[in-house]
Structure 1
Amino acid sequence: MNILLTSVGRRTYMINYFKEALKGTGLVHASNSILSYSLLQADKYFITPSIYEANYIDALLTYCIGNDIDVVISLFDIDLPILALNKSRFEGNGIKLIVSKIEVLNICNDKWNTFLFLKNLGLKQPLTFLHLDDAINALKNKDLKYPVIIKPRWGMGSIGIYYAENKNELRVFYKKIYKEIFNSYLKYESKKTMTSCIIIQEVIDGQEYGLDIFNDLQGNYITTVAKKKIAMRAGETDIAEIVDSKPFVSISKEISCNLKHIANLDIDCFLTEGNEELIILEMNCRFGGQYPFSHLAGVNFPLQIIKWIQEEETDQSLINAKIGIRGCKDLVPVLF
């Protein structure tokens, strides 16, 4: 089995996880629109056109066919919808694409849709506003209080996130974020909603947790791995500890059964002081930056995905995490 990981960025560890899972029975290929150290760790790699270029999918398909790729898995939010919309082209060439339906991706990538989805399920989420005037009115009526967090609706990678302590800061940061969005790759998604591409949210006090909610390749719930987040860096979990998932299972199942995502769903959430309420912050429909901590604790979801593709049953030893394991992401200088 040959696997292509697209838009790998800096996630060398994901390449290594899949190489270890294949155990020499196939090759792990990687692609990215710019050269990165991670690409060099794959068995083979290639540089793609930008995700937003018209020939992106054609380039991927040509590479897949020419290199006998059996499975394609993306590691980047923006890549997912483009792949999902072209799933039939891959499958028509005998290539399995591990990606959720476009409707699922639109819920996860669009933070306003995430808010509406969770609200419809009756699950707790930060009070969220799509328009500046609505947030200002809520602040005036004391339905919302400072500080508030302002962020891109289609945001990722901690681009354009600010905390406003007063009305003046709110207006200034709102304008600043708008400029940052359209000076970054966020502009491509944000063009869909140019007049409403920023959200304003209440700030949640409490302990932050990360959840890996694993579904099988038919979208059926399998398990949840919960992590207490201890430190963050550039929007990703940097230090975390595996905790008992029992307090999170009920909500995980509800999200899983209603979303029907494929494979991993990465969720950020807060448990308020006194463990009174679980508040869902964001959902990413892919292997997220917190997955390595699940892997360090004994989970091997790359291998389980391979087994499912080979029509094998779920192996419980591959999805159970050891509670109490703490890990961190180390930085090792390398020649490049």
Structure 2
Amino acid sequence: MSSKINITTLSYYLASDLKAENQRKVRKMLILDHPYVSDFLKDTAAELQIPVLKNEMTAGLNTRKGLNLLEKTEFIEFIKEKGEYSLYSNSENSIGWISENLGFTGLPEKIELFKNKIKFRELLERIYPDFYFQGIEFEKLDEIRVEEIKKPFIIKPAVGFFSLGVYKVSTDEEWDSVLRRIKAEVEDIKDRYPVQVLDAGKFIIEENIEGEEFAIDAYFNSAGKPVVLNILKHIFSSENDVSDRVYFTSKLVMETYREAVEDLLKEIGKLAELKNFPLHMELRIGNDRRIQLIELNPMRFAGWCTTDLAHFAYGINTYRYFLEQLEPEWDKILKGKEGKSFCLVILNKPAEIISETVKAFDYEKLLSDFEKPLELRKADHEKYGLFGYMFTETKESNWEEIERILKSDLKEYITFSQSILQP
């Protein structure tokens, strides 16, 4: 018996040493940038003392334990050191800095391959040879002969973020209205994000992808193996709805789709030769179980640190899992999660509401409308076009609270300026 214990103990320490050695070989690094860094991410960076690029964003961050900040030259030299590194950025705002300073790593080319939706579609032609798409300049949208394009189709910026500038066109008659809305939205959002994040100068038209929509947080480890950290199901209020109001994850979602998502990621990893690479991917899965990719966002997980939902739902710190090359033990993690959904509710301001007419948003009333809100994060709607977002835990028996917010225009929470008639 004692011999068995000794062997088991020895095996444990050998495995621990090997794991520690692998973690030492892959250096961990972070770039934190606007528009938002969650307390959870800040505390993770401080606790693990991960080297963080010193920039304008980090200058304003307060943590219980100080961040391990590196000046620009130190940060670049750290990456140049011999061996592998894992670099995570919470925001695509850092893409410009990476392009300007880390060209020697090959990262700018990888980022462009995925961030530019036209190049992304060209990469995927080997997987989806019959998929229709075309790029078009914003100035030439008026010249489109919409009757010649198979419908329904999706039009969106070739380089985009969230669902900004994304529209579905189902009939010829809808086009004039969609075109007017695109022009108005481009004018409204063009100065909110860097061109590397949102470039409304060029659009892509592509065939509509049928099926249920999902968002995935995953990474490729140092051996090129894909590791899935979360799967969120994106639900909509109607057939033509393309907004980002509600995403949710559950035991059923994870168990049903994880292996299929991993198989797709293996194909993408081979095409793009990905290692030590975090990503946020959106896709649709049809009734025939066929997976069709919508987009893949490099260097980050779900935007605005909404990837933190994995912590509330499953106890997974997605940043730590990537940086330390950890893999979830899903069989253990999902025990006891039956009958629960963990939701991300994005409080996106409807396009018809003019920011200047909004006097206040009643967050307390919003919270009272949910059985178990987990965390609320507020945002400046005038600057970012959303009032914030929250995480919730919802029982299947109380799903009507999610249906209600999914269809809401949020006006029940908004106080409008007295001098302006409410829309």
TM-score by length of 1: 0.67
Q: Retained in 2: the 8 A contact 1:3–1:72? A: yes
Matched, 1:303 2:320: yes
Structure 2 SS opposite 1:40: coil
2:273 maps to a residue whose letter is K
Cα distance in 2 between the residues matched to 1:300 and 1:318: 14
| Seq. identity, % | 14
Q: Retained in 2: the 8 A contact 1:266–1:287? A: yes
Determine the structure 1 residue equivalent to 2:254: 243
Cα RMSD, aligned residues only: 4.4
1:171 maps to a residue whose letter is L
Cα distance in 2 between the residues matched to 1:114 and 1:320: 36
Following TM superposition, by how much is the alpha carbon of 1:222 offset from its aligned partner in structure 2, in angstroms?
Answer: 3.4
Q: What is the correspondence of 1:1-336 to structure 2 with a 5 Å cutoff?
A: 4-7=30-33, 9-12=35-38, 13-19=40-46, 22=48, 26=49, 33=56, 39-41=61-63, 43-44=65-66, 60-61=72-73, 73-80=88-95, 82-87=97-102, 101-122=107-128, 127-131=132-136, 136-137=144-145, 139-141=146-148, 143-146=149-152, 148-164=153-169, 166-180=174-188, 182-187=190-195, 194=201, 197-217=202-222, 220-225=224-229, 227-230=231-234, 235=244, 238-241=247-250, 242-244=253-255, 245-261=258-274, 262-272=276-286, 274-289=287-302, 291-295=307-311, 296-307=313-324, 317=329, 322=334, 326-329=341-344, 330-332=374-376
2:320 maps to a residue whose letter is L
2:319 maps to a residue whose letter is P
Structure 2 SS opposite 1:153: strand
Cα distance in 2 between the residues matched to 1:288 and 1:227: 11
Cα deviation digits, residues 256-315 of structure 1 (max 9, x gap): 22223333221101112x24421111101123226334444254443344445xxxxx66
Structure 1 unmatched runs, 5+: 48-57, 90-98, 309-313
Following TM superposition, by how much is the alpha carbon of 1:18 offset from its aligned partner in structure 2, in angstroms?
Answer: 4.1
Cα distance in 1 between the residues matched to 2:130 and 2:289: 11
1:266 maps to a residue whose letter is H
Q: Retained in 2: the 8 A contact 1:228–1:240? A: yes
Structure 2 SS opposite 1:243: helix
Determine the structure 2 residue equivalent to 1:54: none
Cα distance in 1 between the residues matched to 2:190 and 2:343: 33
Are the structure 2 counterparts of residues 80 and 144 from structure 1 closer, same or farther at C-alpha, using a change threshold of 3 Å? same
Q: Retained in 2: the 8 A contact 1:152–1:181? A: no
Cα distance in 2 between the residues matched to 1:255 and 1:71: 19
Cα distance in 2 between the residues matched to 1:225 and 1:119: 27
TM-score by length of 2: 0.55
Count of residue pairs brought into register by the alignment: 293
